[in-house]
Each structure stands twice: as C-alpha cells, then as structure tokens.
A and B are shown apart, each in its own frame.
Chain A
Amino acid sequence: MPALMHKPVTTIVAIALLGLLALVPVASEAFDDPFMLTLFTRIVIMAIAAVSLNLILGYGGMVSFGHAAYIGIGGYSVGILAHHGVHAAWIQWPLALAMSGIFALLIGLLSLRTRGIFFIMITLALAQLVYYLGNGAYAYGGDDGLTILKRSDFGGLIDLNHRPTLYYLCWAILVAALYFCHRTVNSRFGMVLQGAKSNDRRMATIGFPIFRYRLTAFVIAGMVCGLAGVLSATFTDFVSPAMMHWSRSGDLIVMVVLGGMGSLFGPLFGAVSFLLLEEILSGWTEYWKIVFGPILVLVVIFARGGIDGALSRGQAGALMTGIAAFFLVYGVHLVYEDAWIIPTLILAAAFTLSGLVWWHYRRKRVASTETAGGDHA
C-alpha cells in the first residue's frame, strides 16, 4: 500500500519535468541561447532511447549491452537513403524502423537463447559487429561518418529545418513512447515480460512459450531505439559509427540505472540527469568522469531504484536539496566565467525551495500518520 500511495509523487515530478521540457524552445528564445535548445534536443532523443532500453532491461530483465546499435541502424538508414537522394520521410522513416526491427530480430534470435553474463556478452559482440560494419562502409564515409546534406522531407507538413519544430517532434515522440510503454507493461504482454524476468522457469511450467514474448519485446525496443537514431541523425545532419560504439550502449544502461530500472519514468529522469551532468561536468574538466563515477556509485548504493526509487520512497526533499547544492557549486564556479549564471542560480533557488517545502510537508504527513496509528492502538 505505501508503494501505491507514493507512486503519484513520481508521476507528478515526471509530468512537471515533461512540462518544463516543453518550455525549452521558449526559454532558449528568451535567454537568446540557441545552445540550450541543442542540448535539450539531444537529451530528449536520448531519453527516447533510454525508454526503449528500459522496456527490455527494466521490465524484461534483458541486459542488452548493445542497444546503441539501433541508434546507428536507424541513423544510417536515413543517412544512406539521403546519400542516394531519397529524402521523403514517408520512405526514410518506415524503412529505418523496419531495418532496426530486422536487426533486433536477428540479434534477438541469437542472443535470447542465453541468459545472464552470456546474454550481455553476445549482445555486446553483435552490436560491435554492427559498429565495425559502419566502420568498414567506405562508400558511406567509413569511420569518418556520413554527412546528411538535406533533412527528411515531410512534404511541407512538418519542417524539420525549423529547430523548435524538430524539438517538439522529438518531445511528442518521447511522450508517445512513455505512454506506449505505460500501456504495454500493464497489458497481458507486459505481465508475461515481467513474469519472465522474475522467474522464467515458472513461466514455462504454467504454459508460456516465453522465448517469442521476449523476442517481441526485444524487437519493439530495437525499433523505438531506431526511431531515436533517426531523430539523432536528422538533428545532427550526420551519422557515424561513433554513435553505436559500445560505450554509447553503456551510457544508455547508466541512464536507465541512474533513473530507476523498471519504472516508467526512470529512463526520463536518468537521461536528463546523465546528460546534464555530462554537459556541466565536462565544462569544468576534461576528466569529468572522475566526478561522475562516484556520483553514480553513490546513487546505486544509497538510492536503490535510482532517482525514481528515491522519489517514490519520499526522499524527494533530499533529492531536491542535492540538486540545489549541485547548482550552487556550479553557480559559484560560473562567477568566474559569465553566461548561464542567472538561470543556474534561479534553478538552485528553485530546488532549495522545493526541497524545503517537500521536507516540511513530509514531516507533517509522517506526524499525522503516527497519530493515526496511535489512535488505533
């Protein structure tokens, strides 16, 4: 019951976050900061990829260490078609999804017969195969990558050259992916997926041929991730093997773990915080991973279930204060630079305030439940 009572907190925070994300183009315009839009377009696209990974990793227990391959496959599908003069989105996009699906089907057919560490290694190996395929594709730039000279054409319906339009398209796809994920994990299919994660032997005994369900989930996740690849290629006008390097797959796993595996909004929280941290920390030092690593370790140790877990356990106050402290330090750092200082201090103040309010509200609620318990005793 407590889990159910706390659940809305996560949902409220997630919806607020999605609302804030919807305002990014406006803010970018207001602060006359085009980079803000660039950064957040990337964040939203990676959040879509993380949502797709969460479907198989979080809900299905399939630790795919090659998920970035589908970003590459989706991206290259668009890039190669554009290279040959095919720009119609109605051809490019469905074909990119189909290619991602076919690759996921093949990789899934091979890898899903294994479990545990073997599954991790096989997905990694097969994804590296795709990576080297891109590296060796000299006709399409090899390891230099391939520049897309003309963006996908929706026949005047959607103008992808207009940056805010592209951003809102990504945002809408993220929201759609989250809604799809929500429906799916609570459907009959989702029950099978979660059951197979928890106890696949029992699933077979009660009569489920679980392989085909896992494979279907794997293909769906691959296709959604392929869509993220399409958006990424469109946004950067560029595809290269680097986007499917194994370390990119690792990043996706980190996003899902940081945000909270097997929770609907976990990957959203994870992608936003991972990429913001990356952006900010790498602004400080080239060796930003030295700072990021310990943060990740702290989250894994102290916040089981990641950010989502902390939120639903009512540690929102602590979380807010942590973020506030981070932005304060960042603000002090910026005093010696220039830009971003005002929005950063505003964010710090906002998080401090909401952290305090949350703590106050929570203390009152704990007190009231204690008296209620006392009455019964």
Chain B
Amino acid sequence: MLEPVLQASNLVKRFGGLTATDDLSLDIREGEIHAVIGPNGAGKTTMIGQLIGELRPDAGSIRFLGQDITHLPVHKRSHLGIARSFQITSIFLNFTALDNVALAVQAHDGHSFRFWGDARRDAGLREPAMEALKQVGLAHRADVVASALSHGEHRQLEIAMALATRPKLLLLDEPMAGMGPEDSARMVAMLQSIKGSVTMLLIEHDMDAVFALADRITVLVYGHGIATGTPDDIRRNEQVRQAYLGDELEA
C-alpha cells in the first residue's frame, strides 16, 4: 500500500487537566475525503490545530508526504502543501474577494519583498486567483469587498483561498457551519467536484454531507479515535452507535 499523505501517530494534547487529544492516530490516503466526526468537545478543532501547526502536540508525531512535520511552523507546512479552511470565517474583510484569493496565490509565488509593482495588476496573481474563484462558483462576485459578501459566500471564499495555495491536503473545519440547506447542498456539490484532485480531511456536523462525501470516516470521542472505516462500516459499528451516532442514523 502507498504511504499515506498524512500520518498522525499517537498524538496527545493536554490543556491543564483536560486531555483534548488522547493517543490519536490517523492515516489520510491519497485522493480520499477523510471525515472526522464526533460530538462537540471531542477535540476535532484541537486536532486540526496540531495538523496545521498552530498547536504543538505534547506527544506523538505527524508525518506529511514522508517528512516529519511535528515541529514545523504554520507557514512552512503551507509551503509543503497543507491548507486549511477555518470553522469561523477568517478572511480579509476590507479586501475584495479576488484580493483575498490573490493574496493566497502570492504566498506561494516566491517572496513578497517587492515594493514597487502594483499587485492588483499582476496577472500572475490575478489569473490563478480568478481560477480558484471559478472553482468554488464565486467568480461573479470577484470585485465585491469581502465584508459585503453573504455568509455562504464567505464559506466559499474560505475554500477558494485554501485551494489557491495548490494544496496536496486540504483541512476543512466545518465548511458548512451556519449554512442553510441550499448553500450546504451547493458546498457538497462543489467539494464533490474537486474530490480526487486534492486529498481532504473533513470535519463536519452535517451527517448527510459527511456520508455523501467521505470515503472513510474516523469517529472521535474525548480526543481518542474509537473507529475508522468506510461510511457503511461506521454505520454498522456498535461502539460508534452507542458512543455518538445513536438514533441519528436509524432514522
């Protein structure tokens, strides 16, 4: 079998007396959408924080494409190909949608110690940025200031910025958070359309979306992965039913 794109081994993260990540191991395979589900407080965002580099695990290691990245800072992981969309929309509100994505492109186009040329007329930034906006279906809103976009559009912009860094692994932290059913459906379709071209780790509470998209699912409870398997495996897993899914899946 191929080496997984990302391999987290025995991660532990404690905050005082609370063990937010408890001996968590996770493999993400090339091209798959790997969903991580779990009740509130299961440690999903803490896990993402460690994978992206904002948090240092107290124990364990993280390997990405064969390289140990456990102690690499955030921006270096980005250059290796890890991108993230935030649970709480985290964009540059006073920039236009296109400016936002162009900045993400710029981050991966050499150093930015360039003081003279007008970055907003730089085709090398604008064109790839426009491509990313098209990918998420936001091209028609390119010149709108981000603060004037709707919540659903903010979520799309989040993904566009992550995609613009040409990631090998995309960490999606609740991309459908706060969305209505229509926007959610559009987001699922969009993720479906880029599936295969980029490996994704998906954290999401919307079970319909998770089971529609995921190739494999890991269930997290109290920071520990209690099961990993295909959606069907997870549906049938007795332990998972008891711990978390309960009635939700029987309906």
Question: How distant is the Cα of A184 from the Cα of B103 in the complex, in angstroms?
Answer: 15
**B203 → A minimal CB distance (Å):** 15
| Residues of A close to B103: CB separation below 8 A | 191-192, 195, 206
Q: A199-B91, A205-B74 are in contact. Are A184 and B115 (CB under 8 A)?
A: yes
Q: A198-B94, A204-B75, A205-B83 are in contact. Are A188 and B117 (CB under 8 A)?
A: yes
From A91-99, A208-216, A239-247, A319-327, the one touching the partner chain is A208-216
| A202 CB–B CB distance under 8 Å | yes
B93 touches A198 (CB 8 A): yes
| Residues of B close to A192: CB separation below 8 A | 103, 106, 112
**Which residues of chain B (193-239) have a CB below 8 Å from chain A?**
none
| Residues of A close to B78: CB separation below 8 A | 204-207
Instruction: Bin the interface of chain A by size.
Output: 20 to 34
Closest residue of chain A to B93 (Cβ to Cβ) is A198
Q: A198-B94, A198-B95 are in contact. Are A187 and B117 (CB under 8 A)?
A: yes
Question: How distant is the Cα of A199 from the Cα of B103 in the complex, in angstroms?
Answer: 12
**B161 → A minimal CB distance (Å):** 6
From B4-12, B118-126, B175-183, the one touching the partner chain is B118-126
Binary CB contact string for chain A from 174 to 193 against chain B (1 if under 8 A, 0 otherwise): 00000000011011111110
Identify which of A194, A202, A207, A209 contacts B90 (C-beta below 8 A): A202
Question: How distant is the Cα of A188 from the Cα of B162 in the complex, in angstroms?
Answer: 19
| A201 CB–B CB distance under 8 Å | yes
A207 touches B75 (CB 8 A): yes
B108 touches A205 (CB 8 A): no
Question: How distant is the Cα of A183 from the Cα of B120 in the complex, in angstroms?
Answer: 12
B79 touches A207 (CB 8 A): yes
**B157 → A minimal CB distance (Å):** 11
Q: A205-B74, A209-B75, A216-B113 are in contact. Are A195 and B92 (CB under 8 A)?
A: yes
| Residues of A close to B142: CB separation below 8 A | none
Closest residue of chain A to B52 (Cβ to Cβ) is A205
Closest residue of chain A to B80 (Cβ to Cβ) is A207
Binary CB contact string for chain B from 50 to 62 against chain A (1 if under 8 A, 0 otherwise): 0010100000000
**A55 → B minimal CB distance (Å):** 11
**B142 → A minimal CB distance (Å):** 14
B165 touches A207 (CB 8 A): yes
| Residues of B close to A213: CB separation below 8 A | 112-113
Q: A192-B112, A202-B91, A206-B161 are in contact. Are A186 and B118 (CB under 8 A)?
A: yes
| B86 CB–A CB distance under 8 Å | yes
| Residues of A close to B32: CB separation below 8 A | none
Instruction: Bin the interface of chain B by size.
Output: 35 or more
A201 touches B90 (CB 8 A): yes
B75 touches A191 (CB 8 A): no
Q: A204-B75, A206-B83, A207-B75 are in contact. Are A189 and B114 (CB under 8 A)?
A: yes
| B116 CB–A CB distance under 8 Å | yes
| Residues of A close to B54: CB separation below 8 A | 201
Closest residue of chain A to B117 (Cβ to Cβ) is A187
A191 touches B165 (CB 8 A): no
| Residues of B close to A188: CB separation below 8 A | 106, 112, 114, 117, 119, 122, 125
Question: How distant is the Cα of A240 from the Cα of B73 in the complex, in angstroms?
Answer: 44
Question: How distant is the Cα of A194 from the Cα of B102 in the complex, in angstroms?
Answer: 13
| B130 CB–A CB distance under 8 Å | no
| Residues of A close to B65: CB separation below 8 A | none
Q: A190-B119, A207-B79, A208-B107 are in contact. Are A199 and B112 (CB under 8 A)?
A: no
| B22 CB–A CB distance under 8 Å | no
Q: A207-B79, A207-B108 are in contact. Are A187 and B118 (CB under 8 A)?
A: yes
B75 touches A208 (CB 8 A): yes
Q: A187-B116, A188-B106, A188-B117 are in contact. Are A204 and B74 (CB under 8 A)?
A: yes
| Residues of B close to A207: CB separation below 8 A | 75, 78-79, 104, 107-108, 165
| Residues of B close to A209: CB separation below 8 A | 73, 75
**A60 → B minimal CB distance (Å):** 14
Question: How distant is the Cα of A292 from the Cα of B90 in the complex, in angstroms?
Answer: 39
Closest residue of chain B to A186 (Cβ to Cβ) is B118
- Measured CB to CB, the residues of B under 8 A from A are 52, 54, 73-75, 78-79, 83-84, 86, 90-95, 99, 102-104, 106-108, 112-120, 122, 125, 161-162, 164-165
Kindly list the 10 A-B residue pairs having the minimum CB-CB distance in the complex, ordered from nearest: A207-B78, A207-B107, A204-B74, A188-B114, A206-B104, A188-B112, A198-B92, A206-B107, A188-B119, A202-B90
Question: A183-B115, A188-B106 given. 6 additional CB < 8 A pairs?
Answer: A183-B116, A187-B118, A204-B73, A205-B74, A207-B108, A209-B75
CB pairs A–B below 8 angstroms (26 shown): A184-B115, A186-B118, A187-B114, A187-B117, A187-B118, A187-B119, A188-B114, A189-B114, A189-B115, A191-B99, A194-B94, A198-B93, A199-B90, A199-B91, A199-B92, A202-B92, A204-B74, A205-B78, A206-B103, A206-B104, A206-B161, A206-B162, A207-B79, A207-B108, A207-B165, A208-B112
